[in-house]
Homo-oligomer: A and B are copies of this chain.
Amino acid sequence: MPGHRSITEAEKLAAAKLGGIPIRREQMAVVANIHRAASAVRQHLENSVLRGSDLTWTAFVVLWVVWIWGESETRHVAEEAGISKGTLTGVARTLEARGLMRRGGHPTDGRLVLLSLTGEGEELMRRVFPQFNEEEAFVAEQLDDDECRSVADGLRRVVLQVEEHGEERRRALLNGAEPALRRSGRRPKPKA
């Protein structure tokens, strides 16, 4: 492990400002850089390949999930795409209107809706995904294959940690307190 990598100016300032407060610096840096990287990568991909096909990031992710998994129930697609059910409803409707996606009822359970790609959707993904992957390679250009694997593995462990222990942790933190509703979103119904 090479000794001292360049630390951003922000991280140095933070360390100074937080001089008096005990801080887990490495963990702070990893979280901060996850979001920096996510934002930078997303912006690059949107502005290079996605805009050319008139797709938003979310729309592309939804198409990708259904492409890879095949016909799927909406809740699984939302989960896998990392968006809420409500958001998926709108995105799926848009994609359906553009002829890229199909919405079908479940044969035995009337509550479910199944999503699948149309032929046009399949064709789009076969055309767009290679371009997308090309830009993934570009953004990761400074990492060799081993480093990619190593970083991906570290991130996978972060995701696993939250998926496996996140809810329990949140319960423990609130410890019986009210879940504290969001500032935005629909107001709870005034209880009788």
Interface residues of A (CB under 8 A from B): 1, 3, 5-8, 10, 13-14, 17-18, 21, 23-24, 26-44, 47-49, 51-52, 54, 56, 61, 67-69, 76, 79-80, 82, 126, 129-130, 133-143, 145-163, 165-166, 169-170, 173-174, 179-184
Contacts and interface: CB of A to CB of B under 8 A. Distances in A.
B38 A38 contact: yes
When all copies of this chain in the complex are counted, the total is 2
Nearest to A173: B48
Given A34-B38, A38-B34, A159 B1 contact: no
Given A10-B68, A38-B34, A166-B44, A27 B183 contact: no
A183 B52 CA distance: 10
Nearest to A55: B183
Contacts of A44: 162, 166, 169-170
Given A13-B68, A143-B158, A156-B7, A136 B24 contact: yes
B155 A34 contact: yes
A160 B23 contact: no
A137 B151 CA distance: 18
A52 B69 CA distance: 37
Given A37-B158, A139-B162, 7 more contacts: A21-B126, A34-B34, A40-B82, A40-B159, A44-B162, A139-B158, A148-B154
Given A17-B67, A27-B137, A54 B183 contact: yes
B158 A27 contact: no
B35 A82 contact: yes
A7 B68 CA distance: 13
B42 A35 contact: yes
Contacts of A28: 133, 136
Contact of A34 (B1, B5, B37): B37
Nearest to A65: B10
